[in-house]
Amino acid sequence: MLNISGYVLKKFKTIRMKFKKEAKIAVIVTLIILLFFWGYNFLKGRNLFSSYNYYYATFEKVDGLQKSSSVTVNGFVIGLVSDIQFTSEKLDQIQVEIGVKKSFKIPKNSVVMIVGDLLGSKSIVLQLGDSPEFVKHEGTLPGAQAPDMIDAVTDKLMKTPIGQKLNKVLVSIDSVLMILQNTFDGQAQKNIQDIIANVEKLVSAERTKISMILTNFESVSGNLKKSNEDISQVIANLNRFSEALAASDVKNTVDNANRSLTQLNSLLSGISEGQGTLGKLAKDDSAYIYLQQSLNDLDKLLIDLRENPKDYVHFSLFGGKKSKK
């Protein structure tokens, strides 16, 4: 009897363990399915844990509108684009599904508009109407395509005087390009290609020399870098010299020199005109003639003194008579 009860108890434990394993597997599979379903809807723009109302609008084209694009009212985000798909086999109508928070009520005469920014991204803007009645969940709203911002700015710009001048400039540039296109025919283009090929050959042939030139430039720059301190010292000396020169009284020195040169000029002018002693000596030749005569007489006297010294100097130990001469 005890063996039968023990066997039954053991069998019950085994069944319970198997049931626990199966229950765990079932729970895990269920969680995986729920997570997959939630992720799929999240990628479509739907959040299962948030309360949203969904609305539909039809467009002929969406111009790059994507799922999860924002839905805004006066710049404030109130929802997302949840789905985009064709509604007919002709592919001429596109239905856009938007999810809006339930706390926002949309009047019936509101408009769903696709707008773009300067970067090219698209979003949905709700233009709210003034109807007292509101659109119900999964209701339909009219869709509209907002004018492209860049095109609108371009149109406004082209209507201004600056835009008209710019248009004329573009026309002129187009004419110049046409002239250049006609000028540079096949032969001219071939000549230009030949010139480029020759330059490339020259560079390839003289690559070694060019490398040496660059090396020399590098050496020169290195020497300049090494002599940077000496150059700085020379510049400092020049600065000190210029400061000393600025501090010295150069103006008075130059004025004194000018006065001295003026006086010397006056003196030389007087001498040239025969004024004063130096002027008379320079202009009157009588002094020169008198001096020349004196020199001639002195020369004669010296010759006679050398030839007849006794007539001028008498020397005797015992005394004697002086010459009559």
Length of the chain: 325
What is the reported pLDDT for 147? 66
Nearest to 128 by CA among 107, 154, 145: 107
Torsion of CA 315, 318, 319, 324, to 10 degrees: -70
Task: Please state the domain count of the chain.
Answer: 3
Task: List the alpha helices (DSSP H) in 149-206.
Answer: 149-159, 161-183, 186-205
Domain boundary among 98, 117, 146: 146
Q: Are residues 37 and 56 in the same domain?
A: no
3-class SS at 78? strand
Contact 93, 60 (CB under 8 A): yes
Question: Which among 120, 146, 172 is the end of a domain?
Answer: 146
Q: Is residue 12 part of a domain?
A: yes
Give the tens place of pLDDT for each residue, 177-236. Answer: 777 666 666 777 777 788 888 888 777 777 788 888 888 888 888 877 777 888 888 888
Same domain, 2 and 37: yes
Has residue 258 been placed in a domain?
A: no
Instruction: Decide if 269 is inside a domain.
Output: no
The span from the CA of 216 to the CA of 229, in Å, is 21
Instruction: Domain of residue 30: give its range.
Output: 1-43
pLDDT tens for each residue of 32-51: 887 776 676 666 555 555 57
Residues 126, 112 contacting (CB under 8 angstroms): yes
Are residue 93 and residue 126 in the same domain, yes or no?
A: yes
- Whole-model pTM: value is 0.37
Measured CA to CA in angstroms, residue 78 lies from 23, 58, 251 at distances of: 41, 20, 84
